[in-house]
Amino acid sequence: MNKYLSLSIDGTPILAPSGIPKGGTGTGQALIQTGIAILFIVVILFTFFYMIQGGIQWMVSGGDKQRIEQARLKIVYAIVGLIISLGGFFILSFIFNLFGLSFK
């Protein structure tokens, strides 16, 4: 059974007339997958950057409670952002699988 949607009558597929675009999931799907992968990599890099920045800020705070709290919040927000983006990635993966599309 074909995993793509098609029009058929009694199991006989009805093809589009010549000259009419047939659509499909070729380049559009690849473009979306590449865009999502790039965005995910950017999110990971930003998370890494903010965690390093928060750690450095914590180390140079000199015991100042307000600066330590700012550094701690920066690290916590970076982790929360990463968790939210991971959730979005898994939701998109689920949606792609729901429609029978591969998500690499």
What is the per-residue pLDDT for 1?
Answer: 46
Rounded-to-integer distance, Cα 90 and Cα 21, Å: 32
pLDDT in tens, 22-70: 565 556 777 877 888 898 899 999 999 999 999 999 999 988 999 999 9
Position with higher pLDDT, 99 vs 22: 99
What is the per-residue pLDDT for 64?
Answer: 92
For the chain, what percent of residues have pLDDT higher than 70?
78
DSSP 20-64: S----SHHHHHHHHHHHHHHHHHHHHHHHHHHHHHHHHHHTSTT-
pTM of the predicted model, to two decimals? 0.63
What is the per-residue pLDDT for 25?
Answer: 53
Is the pLDDT at 81 greater than 60? The verdict is yes
Whether 60 contacts 11, CB under 8 Å: no
